[in-house]
Every structure is written in structure tokens, then in C-alpha cells.
Amino acid sequence: MDKFLKRIIWLFIIAPAVYLAIVWNTVPETVAMHANLKGEVDRYGSKNELITMTLLLIFVNAAVYLLLPQVYRIDPKRYAAENKSRLHRIAFAVSVFIAAVLCLLIYSSIHDSIEFSSRFILAGVGLVFAVVGNYMYNIKPNYFAGIRLPWTLNNDENWKKTHLLGGKLMFGGGLLIAIICLFTSFPLSLIILFAVISLIIVITCIYSYNLYKKLDGPH
């Protein structure tokens, strides 16, 4: 599976450049480049700026994909190497998301429809959140990925139980975010996104701390 993902990921990474090349003749001289929190365009730029943004984000995307699966190499935790495959699949999901966002940004810039595309981007954030949550439940203790609290890093049982709960919450919360964001306005979608993520973080941290007091507290 990992070998297959490694073969096809570069198709996703370069897809925005291919898309921009295909639609280049229809790109106006001035394109939308930025929007405010209401999803309204507040800055325009040139076609050349669109090219620069596309190439820069493609480079960032490639760097994320190449570097994220390698962080286990500098992790002192003894189980770190076991996370390589999981980190690679998370990196794949993140890179596909970045590529999709970039294609949407190109589309939005050409058609001046940033508010419409922004809802899809937030829904995509929810889906990535769900994908990460799906791999979170069995990630091994490490210093770079996961719920890295003092008591989870120092107790394997706490780490395992915290990530089991956190993974379930992230998966369900991510799907909830994706569905809601598709059918609500951009400002409301943004509020829901931060509210759901904040709630997941608070619930997971409180659970983990209570577990710490139970497992490691004074007897």
C-alpha cells in the first residue's frame, strides 16, 4: 500500500501546475488573491503572482510529504520507528489536501468565487482531521506527532488510552466539520471548525490528566 501511495503522490503534488497550465489562456490579467474572514475578496494580483503562489505551495507540499515521514529518525522514543508507515499515510493525506486546496485557490482566483471555495477548503480540513484521527489510535509514543502531554509521554498506558479516545473524537469531529461546512456560510463554518477542534482538545486533555492522576498520582 505504501509503495502505491509513493508512486501516485507526485501526480497529486504537480496537479495544480498542470491545472494552471490547462486554464492559463482563460486566466484574466487581474485575479483574486486574498479574502477576509467573511470570504469577500480584499486583494487582487497579477497572473504572475498566481504562478509564484502555485509554485511556492507545490514546493511546500513536496517538502511536507518528504519530511514528515522522516521525523521518527530523530525521535529518542524507542517505539518511534514503528510510526514510519502511519506518518507516511498522514503525510499523503495532508499533501493531497494541500494539492486540492491549491487547485481550488486557482479556480477561485480565476472565477472570483473565493467565498464559495472557502467552504470546501474548511470541509477538506475536517476530512484531513478525520483521516489523522483514524491513524491516531495506534500511533506509538513519540515527540513529534500525537497528543504530546507530559503525562502521555511518560506513561505508555496513558498515551495509548488518550490516543484511542482522541482518535475517535478527531474522526467523528472531522466528519461533522466536513458535513456542516458544506452547507453553511463561511463565517459560521469557521466558527464551527474552531469550536469543534477546541472541544476535542479540551475533552482529550482533561481525560488524559484524570487518567494520569489515577495511574501515576499518589496512592
Helix H or strand E encompassing 21: helix 2-23
- Which letter does DSSP use for residue 146 in this model? S
Distance of alpha carbon 121 from alpha carbon 131, whole angstroms = 15
Question: How high is the pLDDT of residue 219?
Answer: 45
User: How many angstroms separate the Cα of 27 from the Cα of each of 18, 19, 21?
Assistant: 14, 12, 10
User: How many angstroms separate the Cα of 62 from the Cα of each of 4, 59, 67, 168, 185?
Assistant: 17, 5, 9, 29, 31
Per-residue pLDDT of the chain (219 residues; tens, 9 = 90+): 567 777 788 888 899 899 888 888 877 777 766 666 565 665 677 777 778 888 888 998 898 888 877 776 776 666 666 667 777 888 888 888 888 888 877 877 777 655 556 777 788 888 888 888 888 877 787 777 778 888 888 888 888 888 999 889 999 999 998 888 888 877 888 888 899 999 999 999 999 899 888 876 554
Place of cell 506527532: 145
Q: What are the residues facing 44 on neighbouring strands?
A: 32
Task: Give percent of the chain with pLDDT exceeding 90.
Answer: 10
Distance of alpha carbon 56 from alpha carbon 67, whole angstroms = 16
Side chain identity at 110, as an amino acid letter?
I
pTM above 0.75, yes or no: no
Tell me if 102 sits within 8 A of 16, measured CB to CB: yes
Spell out the alpha helix ranges (H) of 79-185: 84-111, 114-136, 150-153, 156-183
Distance of alpha carbon 74 from alpha carbon 111, whole angstroms = 45
CB atoms within 10 A of CB 35: 17
Tell me if 170 sits within 8 A of 106, measured CB to CB: no
